[in-house]
Copies of this chain bind each other. A is one copy, B any other.
Amino acid sequence: MEEPIEEWLKEVLMLDHAESKMTVKQMKIVQAAAEIFARKGFAAASTSEIAQQAGVAEGTIFRHYKTKKDLLLSIVAPVMSRLVAPFVIRDFGKVLENQYESFDQFLRAVIENRIEFLQRHMSIIKIMIQEVPFHPDLQEQFQKIVLAQVLSKMKVVVDRFRAEGKLLDLPSATIIRLTVSSILGYVAVRSLYGHQEDANWDDEAERQATIDFIMRGLAVPSPK
A positions within 8 Å CB-CB of B: 40-41, 43-44, 126, 130, 133-134, 170, 174, 177-178, 180-182, 184-186, 188-189, 206, 209-210, 213-214, 216-218, 221-224
Contacts and interface: CB of A to CB of B under 8 A. Distances in A.
Given A213-B218, A217-B217, A224-B224, A180 B174 contact: no
Give me the 8 closest cross-chain CB pairs, A-B, nearest first. Answer: A181-B185, A43-B43, A217-B217, A43-B44, A213-B217, A216-B217, A178-B213, A181-B181
A50 to B, nearest CB: 15
Nearest to A212: B217
A209 B177 CA distance: 11
A44 B43 CA distance: 6
A38 to B, nearest CB: 9
A224 B223 contact: yes
A178 B130 CA distance: 22
Q: How many copies of this chain sit in the oligomeric assembly?
A: 2
Nearest to A45: B43
A61 B216 CA distance: 52
A186 B182 contact: no
Nearest to A189: B177
A174 B205 CA distance: 10
19 contacts: A43-B43, A43-B44, A126-B133, A174-B206, A177-B185, A178-B182, A181-B182, A181-B184, A181-B186, A181-B188, A182-B182, A182-B185, A213-B217, A213-B218, A216-B216, A216-B221, A217-B217, A221-B221, A222-B222
Contacts of A224: 222-224
Contact of A214 (B184, B210, B217): B217
Given A210-B178, A218-B213, A40 B185 contact: no
B216 A44 contact: no
Given A126-B133, A181-B181, A181-B188, 20 more contacts: A40-B43, A40-B134, A41-B41, A170-B209, A174-B206, A177-B186, A177-B189, A178-B209, A178-B210, A180-B185, A181-B182, A181-B184, A181-B186, A182-B185, A214-B217, A216-B217, A216-B221, A221-B222, A223-B224, A224-B224
